[in-house]
Amino acid sequence: MKASKHSWKSESQFGEIGKLMNYSSRKAAKAQRVFLVSSFAPLRLCGTNLFLLLIILISFTASHAQSKPKSGSHSTRPGPTMPAETKELLDQAIGVVCTQAKLDPKSSVAIDDMQARPSLPLQSPEAREGAERAQRLLPVAKELVITALRQLQTDYGFQNQPKFNQRMRQAIARVNSVSRVRPDMESRDDASVYLSRPHVITFGTIFLAGLRSDEGMLSVLAHELTHIADGDNDGLRLLVAAVGNKASDLTGLDIHGQRAEEISCDLIGAMVVRTYIVTTPGYESIARRLARSIQHNCVELDEGDEDHLSPRNTIRALLALNPALVRELLNDRFE
């Protein structure tokens, strides 16, 4: 049973990866030391045996180096199914998103940048402004998340399944029950939902301050609301698995389990922001406003873990799942 669902990578993430990597290195080094001690204990070896032992040692070291696991942020499946021309368009769209992150005065702060910042008090002007924006947009986010969930249900062919329809009704009820955003200095650059308190979304003050636009805030609210919709019994697991499988096939990345849930939440976030922009036209370019839904992933330090793709791989998977968004970012107009 999931007591909580952490949606964005906290500052401890890289520390845990570091610990695991160090443990793996120590374990490998220990194995090599044991092999050496046990092998060289009989010192009365003839020249031929010593030569054979040296060959074995070289083979063991090479085999170990080749069998080291890759970082969880970039683990892959056997090759994507995306055509080369589609991949090129996707790369161009990523360029648009991350260029806007540098040019847009309302752009969201990158995740790695937020992680490096000092804690922000609850009463700081930036945190208070972010908290007010989040609470103001929460009703809008709830309505648009429900619309997006129903759209995904249709897109992935679950609309005529009675059992799934029942689960969807329960998911919608959980979304509708959310009533409050709670700022929290200790949560820093994280946003999370604790399923023991499903009516509340907890936001770190650094995160609140780093989401400087309505579009950026809506994408994260929608992400968290989707976790709540899934609930503590993984009520949307069939839809989540279908989204993860499609993303894995398109990108060649391993997107299953919790990663599938995270990318599904990101996908709902992007859909919510698009609908919001359509219904609230303004003077800013469409591409700039669309980019705000995912530009917090335009990081320099691109690392993930078992539950999350790396931020830049998150952008890649999300755009692969949403080719219309790719075209709209490149053409700066809605289809």
Give the tens place of pLDDT for each residue, 90-99. Answer: 999 999 999 9
Can you say whether the dihedral through the CA atoms of 16, 21, 26, 31 is positive or negative?
positive
Domain ranges of the chain: 12-66, 71-331
The tally of CA atoms less than 13 A away on the side-chain side of residue 161 is 13
The whole-number pLDDT of residue 62 equals 45
What is the Cα 60 distance to its own chain's centre? Answer: 37
Give the tens place of pLDDT for each residue, 138-183. Answer: 999 999 999 999 999 999 999 999 999 999 999 999 999 999 999 9
**21, pLDDT greater than 60:** no
Q: Which residues does 250 contact at the CB level (< 8 Å), separation at least 6? A: 80, 81, 82, 317, 320, 321
Between CA 235 and CA 229 the distance in angstroms is 8
CB-CB neighbours of 29 under 10 Å? 10
71-331: CATH class = alpha beta
Give the tens place of pLDDT for each residue, 100-109. Answer: 999 999 999 9
Structure tokens at 169: 């009704």
- Can you give the pTM of this predicted structure? 0.79
